[in-house]
Amino acid sequence: MFNIKRMKILFVEVVWVPGRKKLPFFQSLLLSSMSIYPTLQARTYASATPDEHEVYLVNERFDRIDFDGDHDVVHINFVTPVAPRAYEIADIFREKGKRVVMSGLHPSALPDEAIRHADSVLVGRDELMWVKLLDDLEKGKMKKFYLSRSKINPENIPRIRVKSKQPLTLVDAVEATRGCVYRCAFCQDSHVCGDFVKRNVDDVIEEIRTFPRKALLFYDLSLTIDVDYTKELFARMKELNKRFACCGNIEVLYRDDELLRLASEAGCVSWLVGFESFNQKNLISVGKGSNRVEMYRDAVKKIHDYGMSVIGSFIFGFDEDDENVFKETLDKIVSLDIDGADFSILTPLPGTPLFRKLDEEGRIITKDWSLYDKKHVVFKPKKMKENELVEGVRWLAEEFYSPLESMKRTIRCLKIGLYPSLLTLMRAPIGRRTAPRGEMV
């Protein structure tokens, strides 16, 4: 019987996808030790681990996995595009007699698939279930599945105590809230990880105080869901002298000047906004009708007026999109003075209503999860061919992030502020070089 009080636990963050072409140099660099964005989910589970256990963290971007280490438990946290590699890692460890636990968005969406490569699967995001699993394991009665409650107690969300393995990290990361109330049809996180919850503001502030860096990213799906909570958080952050970016919903930013003022005073330099489309029918079809296209222009101007930039997210491949959508989107983004943009291909991730709909319609082309990275077409679009969708997104990214246009935006952003301008400058080479490179499936 497995019954020890002190265990050596290895947390594995998976990033490498097998069977794919070698990445261009710049993309390879972004996934190397020069990557500036810290990971969070695996470190959250590691931080929740009771102190009597020894915790080790390995991230494939920076370290080789030691498959022969004397670890008692291997905890693998991963998302859909790296599922094949995660299963490969898990199978190797299990062949060597190690107990494997899986967590993350993909195993939460497809636990029956994941359990074929693991001894236990954490479904959802609930650190208390991880602690429960360890307790059961010590008693020799670990279960195959541990299901999170639909609404977790935010007091059980730990502060991050385990440092990132990244040699060069320019920003820190935090979650003040978890979950989302909007339930967009394409969003995996909001459909597999439980209801919206808020951490105690005091706890969030104290965690941020421990961060050594001035720059900070909020990994919340949206900081505009509970506006009163966010206003209190921002008011408290004024004394911390941080510079940060966060996600928000356009209809809230459009109407709430006080929120924008407090955000600016707290040190916010940029809002990441899911515009997704300029076609209202597209937005309604995926449950994001709260986005009103007619409010986009005034919302962007308001955010600029308060000294913050706007990074927009745009998705292509909706049923109303045809081959003209790329030029039309570019013209509108430029006319709205949006400072940066992420362009992605609509991806029906498992566990989402979008996946179920397209699967029922027979429009899913492949279930090779390594292609579900928002850079490949994995379903049949309605009004264009697969290659037109890939080439259109690639063309749009290269046009928007051309050296001349990028420099124009950087100079224009100087009117907003130094930090927004620097952020705009930094995003230009990333946006251009991480666009689809002519591949389909």
Q: Which run of H or of E encompasses 420? A: helix 418-433
- Quote the pLDDT of residue 156: 83
- pLDDT tens for 240-277 read 999 999 999 999 999 999 999 999 999 999 999 999 99
Selection from 182, 188, 166, 417 nearest residue 288 by Cα: 182
- Quote the pLDDT of residue 431: 75
Please give the sequence-ordered ranges of beta strands (E in DSSP) within 332-427, or none if there are none. 340-345
Q: What are the residue ranges in the chain where pLDDT is below 50?
A: 1-3, 18-23, 26, 28-34
Contact present, 268 and 231 (Cβ < 8 Å):
no
Distance CA 373, CA 345 (A): 9
Instruction: Tell me the domains of the chain and their CATH numbers.
Output: 8-147 (3.40.50.280), 170-433 (3.20.20.70)
Q: What is the 3-state secondary structure (H, E, C) of 263-291?
A: HHHHCEEEEEEEEECCCHHHHHHCCCCCC
Distance CA 118, CA 76 (A): 9
- Quote the pLDDT of residue 116: 99
H helix intervals, 115-222: 127-138, 188-192, 201-209
Residues 6+ apart with CB under 8 A from 343: 314, 316, 393, 396, 397, 400, 431, 435
First to last CA, the chain: 47
Distance CA 81, CA 428 (A): 24
- Quote the pLDDT of residue 31: 46
- pLDDT tens for 366-375 read 999 999 999 9
The residue with tokens 């720059």 is 215
- Quote the pLDDT of residue 247: 98
- Quote the pLDDT of residue 68: 95
- Quote the pLDDT of residue 33: 40
For the whole model, what pTM was predicted?
Answer: 0.92
